[in-house]
Amino acid sequence: MDADVIVVGGGLAGLVATAELADAGRRVILLDQEPEASLGGQAFWSFGGLFFVNSPEQRHVGIKDSPELALQDWLGSAGFDRPEDHWPRRWAEAYVAFASGEKRRWLHNQGVRFFPTPGWAERGGYLATEHGNSVPRFHITWGTGPGLIEPFERRVRAGVARGVVTLRFRHQVDGLVLNGGTHAGVAGTVLEPTSVRRGRPSSRTPAGEFSFQAPAVIVTSGGIGANHELVRANWPQTLGTPPQRMLSGVPDYVDGRMIKICQDAGGNVINPDRMWHYTEGIENWSPIWTRHGTRILPGPSSLWLDARGRRLPVPLFPGFDTLGTLGHLMSTGHDYSWFVLTQKIIEREFALSGSEQNPDLTGRNVREVITSRVGKGAPPPVEAFKRHGADFIVEHDLGTLTLGGLETDLSSRVLRAGGQPVPGLYAAGEAAGFGGGGVHGYRSLEGTFLGGCLFSGRTAGRAVARAVA
């Protein structure tokens, strides 16, 4: 055997799983098809938003929250209504318990800190038992996405220094290796070296082949967000025809290859029609990847009109119900809508998502935060979009996140269609629908995608560490 465990995918879930395995003394090979510059995956580009329940930040500003209320909000938003939602619901219950207790302490002990004011995303605007956060729960990581990745990359590199972790970049997995019915490793293509910057498209020119053996494989390869062909193929019938024009909130390598490879190896993919499409996207005027989109984070004051100039109905205000808004806009027969707002609204409540659009928070610069957020004018990145951007319409598909995925039990074991585990195969992160094959159901409460990578990656790492002991 070349290692105790092979982890496929160097995003946040993969880093967390590898860190947990390394700390348990297991020998790990971490594979990724991208160059080392892209370690951390799409989480690097995120705003670093995390879902916490009854946090010190909430209590400090007088927000009253509880695990019971959070679970009610989660289940009301998820709308679990299928037989295959057994494990997704179990994962949802486990995740809310994690977000209500150990999650913040675990991150804080690793040096992660948070912006002091929680945001109120996905407010819903319906009955208490239906979709939406009843209270603000969106906590921004101090340092945004890079700040959240940092402690896990540090733990992984410490494992490299101790000789228990091997990093293999430009290694594209093409198949799983079987030995007596058990998944005993991976095989694939070594891609040619590249010096492209983080997030930019990289070559797929082969330079060799590889094969590694281990008693367990954890797949943490992400979803399908940049593969618009797969997005259209899995588009839910309830939303009609997919939009002709789409933007991507994630780099080109988020292509869903490993989900299909695991499916071919016996893994059961459930809820593929459940996806999360942001409805407030604009084309990035300085793109890094193909069809690069950036999400607007608007307050509720903007006037939101459909393509025909009609105001969206209550409660489809900015920041209230992403899926409901998408369904309404698709019913108009057009793939765009309009925000109408003033300079004062832009200055007061208009922001852009992502680490590169928030250099003050990403750089953890208190003085810059005060200057850009409290001073005159809008934050510099917003003003840059005003100056350099075209007259953008709002696209339907900015960051497509995969809400369904490989079905897994609470030990992250990939399951067959009949419910039996696929021997030696595990999955975490977006490839597993952030846990169970669809922990969010139909809707997200926000701050739960990165958190889902953290929780499922940690769960997988710890479970496999026990299994291969």
Spell out the long-range contacts of 360-365 with Cβ–Cβ below 8 A and sequence spacing 24 or more: 361/48, 361/115, 361/140, 361/142, 361/143, 361/144, 362/143, 362/144, 362/145, 362/146, 362/147, 363/143, 364/142, 364/143, 364/147
Indicate if the alpha-carbon torsion angle 430, 76, 48, 228 is positive or negative.
positive
Pairing of strands 293-298, 350-352: antiparallel
Predicted confidence (pLDDT) per residue in 27-79, tens digit: 999 999 999 999 999 999 999 999 999 999 999 999 999 999 999 999 999 99
Q: In which element (H, E) is residue 218 found?
A: strand 216-219
The parent domain of residue 347 ranges over 276-388
Same domain, 418 and 433: yes
Q: Give Cα 35 to chain centroid, integer Å.
A: 20
Instruction: Note whether residue 381 is domain-resident.
Output: yes
- Chain centroid to CA 369: 25
Residue 44 in domain: yes
Residue 28 · residue 3 · CB < 8 Å: yes
- Judge if 374 and 422 occupy the same domain: no
Same domain (yes/no): 300, 177: no
Give the predicted TM-score (pTM) of the model: 0.94
Indicate the residue among 331, 359, 388 that finishes a domain: 388
Pair (74, 188) in one structural domain: yes
> What six digits make up the tokens of 152?
């896990």
Q: Taken in order 298, 301, 302, 305, is the CA torsion positive or negative?
A: positive
Q: Domain boundary residue among 388, 413, 432?
A: 388
- Let me know whether 31 and 137 are in one domain: yes
339 and 443 assigned to the same domain = no
Let me know if residue 396 belongs to a domain.
Answer: no
Show the CA angle centred on residue 350, arms to residues 349 and 353, nearest 5°. 125
Q: What's the pLDDT score for residue 396?
A: 41
Instruction: Identify the segments of the chain with pLDDT beneath 70.
Output: 372-377, 388-400
Q: Are residues 114 and 64 in the same domain?
A: yes
What dihedral do alpha carbons 461, 462, 465, 467 form, nearest 10°? -110
User: How far from chain centre, in Å, is Cα 308?
Assistant: 33
pLDDT at 103: 98
The answer as to whether 76 is a domain residue is yes
Say whether both 306 and 450 belong to one domain: no
Q: Position of tokens 């007596």? A: 180
**CA triple 157-163-165, angle to 5 deg:** 55
pLDDT number for residue 345: 82
Give domain status of residue 62, yes or no.
yes
Return the CATH number at 245. Answer: 3.50.50.60
pLDDT at 413: 98
Is there a domain that residue 63 lies in?
A: yes
Q: Do 222 and 267 belong to one domain? A: yes
Last residue of a domain, one of 348, 365, 388: 388
Please tell me whether residues 381 and 411 are part of one structural domain: no
pLDDT at 373 (0 to 100): 66
Both 256 and 299 in one domain: the answer is no
Q: What pLDDT score does 397 carry?
A: 46
Looking at the fold, whether 123 and 179 belong to one and the same domain comes out as yes
Q: Where are the alpha helices (DSSP H) in 114-210?
A: 144-162
**Per the structure, how many domains does the chain have?**
2
Residue 394 falls inside a structural domain: no
Q: What pLDDT is stored for residue 402 in this prediction?
A: 80
Residue 136 covered by a domain: yes
Angle at alpha carbon of residue 178, lines to 176 and 182, rounded to 5°: 110
Q: What is the pLDDT at residue 365?
A: 79
